[in-house]
Every structure is written in C-alpha cells, then in structure tokens.
Chains A and B, each alone.
Chain A
Amino acid sequence: MCYNISKIDFMTYENMLNIRFNKMAAGIKKSKERLREEHEKIKSIISLKGEGLMVVDNDDKIIMVNKITENLLKISSKKLLGKNIKEVLIMLKDKKELPADKWPLEKAFEDKNPGRINKKTFNGTVIVFRDIAELKKLEEEREFAKYNAESILRSVYVERDNVQEGKNKLEATLNSIGDAVLAVWEDKRIVILNPIAEKISGFSFKEVENKNYKDFLKFIKEETGEEADIINEAFNSGDRITRSDLALLNKNKSLISIDISAALIKDQNDKRMGIIIVFRDVTEKRETERMRSDFISTVSHQLRTPLSAMKWFIEILLDGDVGKLKTEQADIINEVKISNQNMIDFVNQMLSVSRIENENLAINPETINLEDSINEFIDEILPITKKKKQKLAFSGIKDKSLEIKIDKNLLRNIIYNLLINASRYTPDNGKISLSIEKSNKDNLLFIVKDNGIGIPKKDYRKLFKKFSRAGNAIKYEANGTGLGLYIIKSILDLIGGKIWFESRENKGTVFFFTLPIDSMFCTIKK
C-alpha cells in the first residue's frame, strides 16, 4: 500500500515543523530568560542586605566575597581573595575554637554541581552567613522571659498552694476552736461562721455566707429584751467590746445566753476591714450565776440585816438617844461597835471574794476621767486618815484630761484597799502618798507609799494569800480580815495588771501596781 503525499499533507508537515521549531525557539528563549533570572537572583542574593556571602573553591580558597562580608568581618576583599579561608577566619563552637578539619564545609563539597562566576566555572561552596548577635540576643531574651514566666508561674502555684494550706489551717483552727467564731466584713457580709457558731445560731455557713448578718443574727440584752447591735458598736467605736449580759436570738427564735467579744479587724494601713466576734453559750453558767446570785443575796440579807440593826442600835446607845451612858458602859459599847464593824467589813469582803472566785465579778468598763475618779476615792479615805492625823498626798496626773475605760468599782476597790492598809498600818501623824506615772508604753504605774510599820520578810511569801495577815500587822491593829490584798491581786489578775511591793520594817512600805493601757478590760484613751 502506498500513501499519496498531497499538497495538503506537505503543508501540514511544514506546519508541523514550523510549530515544532517555534516551540524550540520559545523554549530556548525561556531558558535564556530563566538563566538570566537565575543570574539576577544570584546577584541579588549576593548583595542581599544583612547577609554575608563568600564563595570558596575546593581548595578552600576564597574566590568571592560581597560587601556585607567585608563589613561583617571588617576585612577588605583584597585581603580575603585568594586566601585560604581557614587561615583567615576562625570558627568557634560553644565558645571553643573549632579545629580546621571540623569545619562544616566539606559536606557541601560533595555536591558536584558547577557554579559560574565571571564566565569562569568553578567548583566550590557558597557560604552565606549573617550576624545573628541581635537574633541571639532576642532569643536569649525570649528564653529568659520564658524562664521568668515559668518561674513566676511556679511561684504562683506555690503561693496558691500556700494560700490553700493557709486556708486549710484557718479552717481547721476555726473548726476546732471551742468557741463560736463569726466574722463580718465592713459591708456587713458574713464571711466566717465556724461549726460552734453554726450550732448556737442554728444557721449553716452556707445559708448565711456573704449575706447581711442583720438578716440572720440578732443580739439582745438578756434582761430587757432590747436589741444590742454589738457588731455595729465595735465597728463604729473601734474599741474591743466585751459583754456578758447579752443573748442571741437563733434560727428557732430561742434566746441563747452568750458571753461575747467583738473586735475590729484592721489592715496594715489601719483601715477598718471588718469585725471578728467570738462568743459562747453560757446558758448553764448564767443559770448557775443566777442561783449563786440568789444565794449571795440571801446570805447578804441574812447577815447584813442583823449587822446593820446592831450597828444602828450601838449608834443610838452611844449617842445617848435612850439615856446617857456611864463611861464604863460607853467603853463596852465601843468595843461592841468595833467588833460589829469588823463583821460588816468581813461580810463585804467575803462577797467580793465570792464574786471573784465564781467569776461572777461583773466587769463593766466605763470611760472615766482618771484624776477625778482618784480624787473621789481619796475623799472616801480622808475621814479615816484625818482621825489618825495622817497626811494623805496625791500628786495628781500630768495629763488632767486623761480618760480610762475601766470598771470604776474595781479600780476603787484596789485604790481604797491599798490606802486603807497604808493608813491602818501607819501610826498617827504618819505620811501616805499616791502617785501615778507611765511606766512604759504598755502600762500605767500606780505607787502607794507609807512610813508605817513595814512588812517582815518572813511574811512576804503569803502576803497576797486569802486570810493572811503579817505577824506585826496583827499585833499592831486587831482589825483586818486578811482579804484586802487577796482581792486586789485577784482583780488585777482579771484585768491584766500586776502588783508588787518594797518594804522595810518600822520604816515603811511601797506598793506598786500596773494597769495595762490596752486590754479587754482596761483601755487608756489618748
């Protein structure tokens, strides 16, 4: 079979050849283009900003460097070209010099593709490098920041654990305290209600947490039933408030007798943050107190009534209201008078001792002017000292306006008894003095001095004990119950004061006692 080659076919073949030729031409053009692009690229790579470029041949000779390299290495190209790179430069790894045979250039030489520079082909390595000091610094900073963030995070975790531990400790403490603890923030929200407080109030902490305390807890004056907002009082006055006459109206609307103490919580800048309240159920105690109170009043009545009858009849006799007495009769009646007064003093002191020992000593602090009050107490003693023609001196207080918050009766008890003793155990025409000074930043010091019979050393040890009287005191003055100093010491123990003395037989005695400037029962107001 033969094919007929027609004109058309020939034309088609020519076309085909033309097409192929054009394609080839286009291809060659494209290759040329690409080569040119590559060349441009290399040129631009070589002159790329910030990057140093060096070309090194197989014999490690530097055959090309760019401007950046000259700048980075601070060596001119003249000095670099044609030189062995290993003789011109040092490479350091981990701050130690890398020996020449360890340079990481060899691997590149394995690639056998020829490059071309300035129409000369070459085999070698293109080294591209840049100054990464900045980069390294940034990386270091980043590492440092990361490390810092991690350590901060770690300390945050530690703190969180500490806080949690602290919280746990606080919770454990609150749970095991035998008293009810309630804390209220300054916005009146309840923030602490420990288990005992829950029990007494009838509310669970969950029920009242972060709610206004007034919606749940009412404090009432037990005797009168009127409301006593002790929390508000503590917050406004800034003082610690202690009350033993209140009751709490609990969830079931029953009244629970409580002893309560409320104090301000302040931060380091003295700013008021809230109130912490501690209280306890004293229903049984109050009941016992009521019974004891009844007992005391019964005893008082039974003893005091006949004692006052005797006192007044003695007075009537001695005044001659039922007829004039003969001297001898009067003398006898005077003896009776003394005995009678002794019994009265004894009953009075026994009542004090009973109250002290049974903690029935109601402590009712009130704010009083110290100097005025001392003068009042002295006025009570003056008739006694005047009788013995003794001189009683009170030097007064530096700050006339000084106020003290204390139970006035207890203070009177202390000062009166010390002055009575001073007068009793000092002869006629003797000297007694009372002075007050600030002993240190925590206490006021009171000093009662006399020039009387003094206290023998052998009696020092038992002086403050119940019913004990010094040997020479008994001989000197038949009167005396031996209870005065015991009562004074008991009162001072209660309110946080101390008492001691110095004495010389037949020369005189000095008694010292202190009152704390800031305690629950005694506060000196500045």
Chain B
Amino acid sequence: MKNKNLILIIEDDKFLLKAYEIKLKKEGFNVILAKDGTTGLSSAEKELPSLIILDLMLPRMNGFEVLKKLKSSESLKDTPVIVISVLGQKADQEKAIMLGAEKYLIKTDHTLEEVIKNIKRYLT
C-alpha cells in the first residue's frame, strides 16, 4: 500500500538533504532520505513512497540507472519521480524525461517553494 504522505529523497549532499527535510516536514510531508542509489532503491521497495525526488550525480550508481530501475520495478513504476539536478544540458533533461521522469528541475533555478509546488502537482 502506498504511503500517501511519504516522499523519498535520493540525494548525496547532506546539506541539501537537510534543507529538503526541514521544508518538506514543515509542509506536512513524511520524508525518507537516501544518500545513494542502492539505499534509495531498497527504501523505495520497502516503504512505497507516493513520490520520489531523485538527484542525478550520485556515487556508484548514477541517477539515470536508478531511474531505469525504478521504472522497471512492478511496485514502483507508477510512482512519480521528479529529477532535481545540477546538470543543465538539454540532453540530460531529455534523457530523464524519456526514461520516465515526470519533471526535471535544475537545483539553482528553483526555490524550495517551487519544489513543493511541483511535488503537490505530481502527487497521485
């Protein structure tokens, strides 16, 4: 059963994780944090969040691979994924959308408020 209020954040920078956590909790969401792809995938399978925020530059397994795995998992393929990354090239954006991400945001271009707006928009 999907946890309606649960957001999974896969991000390797601890400061960003903290910022996400503070803001999202303030908005009333429950939050799980994962520092890399492997942890993120197992947490996702276990907790079945209602939305996943995914960074692309992750140690060991990169974000695109994680995205592929998420979208090929029976239990997770319909979970909306918002990619929030520092990579700004059009090719990266297109690749992420093609692999099934709902939205691609460049970190420095958006406030947390805008991130929240997007989360609310794509939450099923």
A residues at B contact (CB < 8 Å): 293, 297, 300-301, 304-309, 311-313, 315-316, 319, 321-322, 344, 347-348, 351, 362, 364, 409
B90 interfacial by beta-carbon distance below 8 Å: yes
Whether A307 contacts B113 by the Cβ 8 Å rule is no
> Does B107 interact with chain A (Cβ within 8 Å)?
yes
The residues in B between 67 and 124 inclusive whose CB is less than 8 angstroms from any CB of A are 86-91, 107-108, 111-113
Contact yes or no, A312 B23, CB < 8 A: yes
Q: Does A362 contact B91, Cβ atoms closer than 8 Å?
A: yes
In the complex, identify which listed stretch (B1-9, B13-21, B38-46) lies at the interface while the others stay far away.
B13-21
Closest-by-CB residue of A relative to B20 is A312
Chain B proximity of A417: nearest CB distance (Å): 15
Is B87 in contact with A312, judged by CB distance below 8 angstroms? no
10 residue pairs from A and B, CB less than 8 Å apart: A297-B86, A305-B107, A311-B108, A311-B111, A312-B111, A312-B112, A316-B19, A316-B23, A316-B112, A409-B90
> Please, how many angstroms separate the alpha-carbon atoms of A308 and B112 in the complex?
10
**B61 contacts A by Cβ under 8 Å:** no
Residues of B within 8 Å of A347, CB to CB, are 108
CB contact between A297 and one of B16, B20, B57 (< 8 Å): that residue: B57
B19:A309 contact, CB within 8 angstroms? yes
Contact of A304 among B23, B91, B108 (CB under 8 A): B108
The reply to whether A305 and B13 contact each other, CB–CB distance below 8 Å, is yes
Cβ B108 vs Cβ A301 within 8 A: no
Contact between B88 and A308 (Cβ–Cβ < 8 Å)?
A: no
A322 and B22 contacting across the interface, CB-CB below 8 Å: yes
Alpha-carbon distance between A468 and B22 when the two chains are bound, in angstroms = 40
Q: When the two chains form their complex, are residues B15 and A315 in contact, meaning their CB atoms are under 8 A apart?
A: no
Question: Does B26 count as interface, using CB distance less than 8 angstroms?
Answer: yes
**Are the CB atoms of A304 and B107 closer together than 8 Å?**
yes
CA distance A364 to B94 in the complex (A): 13
Chain A residues, Cβ within 8 Å of B15: 306, 309, 313
User: How far in angstroms is the closest Cβ of chain B from A509?
Assistant: 27
Residues of chain B contacted by A321 (CB below 8 angstroms): 22-23, 26
Asked if A305 and B113 make an inter-chain contact with CB atoms under 8 angstroms apart, the answer reads no
Known: A309-B16, A313-B15, A322-B22. Contact between A304 and B86, CB under 8 A? yes
Known: A301-B87, A316-B19. 15 other contacts (CB 8 A): A293-B89, A297-B87, A297-B89, A301-B86, A305-B13, A306-B13, A306-B15, A309-B16, A312-B19, A312-B20, A319-B113, A321-B22, A344-B108, A362-B89, A362-B91
Q: A308-B108, A309-B13 are in contact. Are A300 and B19 (CB under 8 A)?
A: no
Residue of B nearest to A296 (CB): B89
The contact size tier of chain B is: 20 to 34
A313 to B19: give the CA distance in the assembly, Å: 6
Q: How far is the CA of A308 from the CA of B16 in the complex (A)?
A: 8
Query: A54–B26 Cα gap in the complex (Å)?
Result: 138
Determine whether the beta carbon of B86 is less than 8 Å from that of A315: no
Name the one of A305, A348, A364 contacting B16, with C-beta atoms under 8 angstroms.
A305
* A364 to B113 Cα, complex, angstroms: 32
* Residues in B neighbouring A311, C-beta threshold 8 A: 108, 111
- Bound CA span A348–B22, Å: 27
A70 and B23 alpha carbons, distance in the complex (Å): 131
The CA of A312 and the CA of B91, in the complex, are separated in Å by 26
Contact B108–A362 (Cβ < 8 Å): no
Alpha-carbon distance A347/B107, docked complex (angstroms): 13
Instruction: Name the distance in Å between A353's Cβ and chain B's nearest Cβ.
Output: 14
Evaluate whether A348 and B108 lie within 8 angstroms (CB atoms) in the complex, with A308-B86, A313-B15, A315-B113 already known: yes
Min CB–CB distance A324 → chain B (angstroms): 13
Docked-complex contact B88 and A351, CB < 8 angstroms: yes
Q: Would A300 and B112 count as touching, CB distance under 8 A?
A: no
Chain B residue nearest to A351 (CB atoms) is: B88
Cβ-defined partner of B111 (8 Å) among A293, A304, A315: A315
Q: Which residues of B contact A344 (CB under 8 A)?
A: 108
The smallest beta-carbon distance between B92 and chain A, in angstroms, is 9
Among residues 44 to 59 in chain B, which have CB atoms less than 8 Å away from a CB atom of chain A? 57
CA distance A227 to B31 in the complex (A): 44
Q: What 4 pairs across the A-B complex have the smallest Cβ distances?
A: A304-B86, A308-B107, A309-B15, A312-B19
Bound CA–CA A344/B108 (angstroms)? 7
**Residues in B neighbouring A309, C-beta threshold 8 A:** 13, 15-16, 19
Nearest chain A CB to B5 CB, angstrom units: 18
Measured between beta carbons, the chain B residues less than 8 angstroms from A306 are 13, 15
Contacts of B23 in A (CB 8 A): 312, 315-316, 321
Q: In the complex, which residues of chain A have a beta carbon less than 8 angstroms from the beta carbon of B89? A: 293, 297, 362
Contacts of B88 in A (CB 8 A): 300, 348, 351
CB neighbours (8 Å) of B26 from chain A are: 321
Contacts of B87 in A (CB 8 A): 297, 300-301
Provide the residues of chain A in CB contact with B13, threshold 8 Å.
305-306, 309
- Could you tell me the distance between the alpha carbons of A347 and B91 in the complex, rounded to whole angstroms? 19
A375 to chain B, nearest CB (A): 20
Least Cβ–Cβ distance between B14 and chain A, in angstroms: 9
B112 contacts A301, C-beta separation under 8 Å? no
Q: Which of A306, A309, A322 has the most CB of B within 10 A?
A: A309
User: Nearest Cβ in chain A — how far from B90, in angstroms?
Assistant: 6
On chain A, the residues within 8 Å of B90 by CB distance are 362, 364, 409
- Shortest CB-to-CB span from B88 to chain A, Å, is 7
Cα–Cα, bound, A347→B108 (Å): 10
- Cα of A409 to Cα of B106 in the assembled complex, Å: 15
Q: B residues within 8 A CB of A364?
A: 90
Quote the shortest CB–CB distance from B93 to chain A (angstroms): 10
Residues of A close to B16: CB separation below 8 A: 305, 308-309, 312
Q: Which residues of B lie under 8 Å from residue A362 when comparing CB positions?
A: 89-91
How distant is the Cα of A311 from the Cα of B90 in the complex, in angstroms? 23
